[in-house]
Amino acid sequence: MCCISTLSQTLGIHAVRLDLVRMEDQAYGHESMQPAWNESMDEMFRPEIVDPVVDFLAELAGGGRVLELGIGTGRIALPLAARGVEVHGIDLSEEAIARLRAKPGGEAVPVTIGDFATTQVDGSFSLVYLVFNTIMNLTTQAEQVACFRTVAAQLGTGGCFVIEVMIPDLRRLPPGETIKPFHFSEERWGIDEYDVANQGLRSHHVTFGDGRIEYSSGPFRYVWPSELDLMAELAGLRLRERWDGWTRGPFTSESRQHVSVWEKSARSEGG
């Protein structure tokens, strides 16, 4: 924490004493701009956001076991488990899992602490899913490819891998620029910094409130739908569906995100 007089002048903030808190890189989710255990992004927990995700995943699970990569505090896993689905999780963050455990039903969800690019859980799954841009937390292509291979090894025949992730915003990045604001309000600023040569993205978050400013940033690797399809193919999975979102709107040139489903068929298992 440090005095913020210079920054407050820069920001044009007057007559308010603010402390600046700089948070170190953590396992952030893009757009959330918050560590996994910080639930200040209340809107992501609203039923109108969560319910379509849970409907989609419960239907796809078809009564089988499911695995969430980067389960966090259980935003999706807990309501899915409440529908009677057997949900397992993987996460790197002990703190996020402590928060999951403190919630109703949280003790009953088996969680493995580890890196979902390489960590396998016992038994096979009918569905593995990775929501809220969390594939981008793997910051190299090699890690993202490894993730697909690890998932494929844990899927039973006919099992599916689902990813929800943004479309990189390069169409909105003027030539020569690297900075793209994605959120601007009195409470929060969000700015993406693109490193196009390396397919990298650093998200910067500034939040205002309770007499202080918090700044945090986290590294990501953005990834294109076609590149994900190739990773899937390398892992023996085939694209089954791609939608604009959880309510199955058509995926088009204007889509800002996609929900994609790859399947492990008997044919793809045979190579």
Ligand X SMILES: C[S@@+](CC[C@H](N)C(=O)[O-])C[C@H]1O[C@@H](n2cnc3c(N)ncnc32)[C@H](O)[C@@H]1O
- Residue ranges binding ligand X (CB under 6 A): 27, 29, 32, 36, 70-72, 75-76, 90-93, 96, 115-117, 131-132, 134, 137-138
Minimum distance, C-beta of residue 185 to ligand X, in the bound complex (Å): 20
Of 29 and 159, CB closest to ligand X: 29
- Tracing tokens 């096979």 back to the chain, one arrives at 124
Minimum distance, C-beta of residue 27 to ligand X, in the bound complex (Å): 3
- Tracing tokens 């602490």 back to the chain, one arrives at 113
Minimum distance, C-beta of residue 76 to ligand X, in the bound complex (Å): 5
Of 18 and 164, CB closest to ligand X: 164
Give DSSP secondary structure letters for 91-116.
Answer: ES-HHHHHHHHTSTTGGGS-EEES-T
Of 4 and 87, CB closest to ligand X: 87
Minimum distance, C-beta of residue 235 to ligand X, in the bound complex (Å): 17
Tokens of 68: 């969430």
Minimum distance, C-beta of residue 90 to ligand X, in the bound complex (Å): 6
| Sign of the alpha-carbon torsion through 245, 198, 137, 151 | positive
Minimum distance, C-beta of residue 9 to ligand X, in the bound complex (Å): 33
Of 143 and 229, CB closest to ligand X: 143
Does an H or E element contain 259, and which? strand 257-263
Pairing label, strands 2-3, 188-195: unpaired
Minimum distance, C-beta of residue 101 to ligand X, in the bound complex (Å): 13
Of all residues in the shown chain, the one whose CB is closest to ligand X is 29
Tell me if 242 sits within 8 A of 251, measured CB to CB: yes
Of 238 and 245, CB closest to ligand X: 245
| Sign of the alpha-carbon torsion through 196, 201, 202, 205 | positive
Of 4 and 127, CB closest to ligand X: 127
92 vs 180: CA distance, rounded Å: 29
CB proximity list for 271: less than 8 A, separation 6 or greater: 236
Of 20 and 27, CB closest to ligand X: 27
CB proximity list for 192: less than 8 A, separation 6 or greater: 169, 179, 180, 181, 182, 201, 202, 203, 204
